[in-house]
């Protein structure tokens, strides 16, 4: 079982709709969770971080963390064509040699006109 899992997609949503991206993680993962956006041919950029249970909102983005169910999600309201990208979930993994960030393989989002 992978430590961090995402559906690869593509997830297609119409412009103006809510896009919902999900990520599940294994037991070993710690408290910190991150969402990165990666445009085609570009490097990942951090868009959200969440450290405690519940919701965290930043503009059109909302990150949701549910530790009991071991999932973290990203909601994008009023989706725009410029949101079309691959979204990477990243979680802090506790290891014997220290903490490391582990990435999922990403979900491709397509926002259609």
Partner 1 sequence: DVKVTQSSRYLVKRTGEKVFLECVQDMDHENMFWYRQDPGLGLRLIYFSYDVKMKEKGDIPEGYSVSREKKERFSLILESASTNQTSMYLCASSPDRPRYNEQFFGPGTRLTVL
Quick one: 109 exposed, middle or buried, by C-beta within 10 A (0-12, 13-18, 19+)?
A: buried
Asked if residues 75 and 17 have their Cβ atoms less than 8 Å apart, the reply is no
Counting contacts by CB under 8 A, is residue 103 touching partner 1?
Answer: yes
Counting contacts by CB under 8 A, is residue 106 touching partner 1?
Answer: yes
Return the DSSP state at 70. T
Query: How many angstroms separate the CA atoms of 72 and 37, rounded?
Result: 15
Counting contacts by CB under 8 A, is residue 94 touching partner 1?
Answer: no
Judged by CB under 8 A, the chain residues 41 through 60 that form the site for partner 1 are 42-46, 49
Return the DSSP state at 82. G
Shortest Cβ distance from residue 62 to partner 1 (Å)? 18
Shortest Cβ distance from residue 34 to partner 1 (Å)? 7
Q: What are the backbone angles phi and psi of residue 82, rounded to the nearest 5°?
A: -70, -10
Query: Which of 32, 56, 67, 110 is the binder for partner 1 (CB under 8 A)?
Result: 32
Counting contacts by CB under 8 A, is residue 96 touching partner 1?
Answer: no
Q: Which stretch binds partner 1 (CB under 8 A): 20-28, 60-68, 72-80, 98-106?
A: 98-106
Query: How many angstroms separate the CA atoms of 15 and 5, rounded?
Result: 26
Binding site for partner 1 (CB under 8 A): 8, 32, 34, 42-46, 49, 88, 90, 92, 97-106
């Amino acid at each position: 079982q992978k430590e961090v899992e995402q559906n690869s997609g593509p997830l297609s949503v119409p412009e103006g709709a809510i896009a919902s991206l999900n990520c599940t993680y294994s037991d070993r993962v710690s408290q910190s969770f991150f969402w990165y956006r990666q445009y085609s041919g570009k490097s990942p950029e951090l868009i959200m971080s969440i450290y405690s249970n519940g919701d965290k909102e930043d503009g059109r983005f909302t990150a949701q963390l549910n530790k009991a169910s071991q999932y973290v999600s990203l909601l994008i309201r009023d989706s725009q064509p410029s949101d079309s990208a691959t979204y990477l979930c990243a979680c802090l993994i506790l290891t014997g040699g220290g903490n490391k960030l582990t990435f999922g393989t990403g979900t491709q989002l397509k926002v259609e006109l």
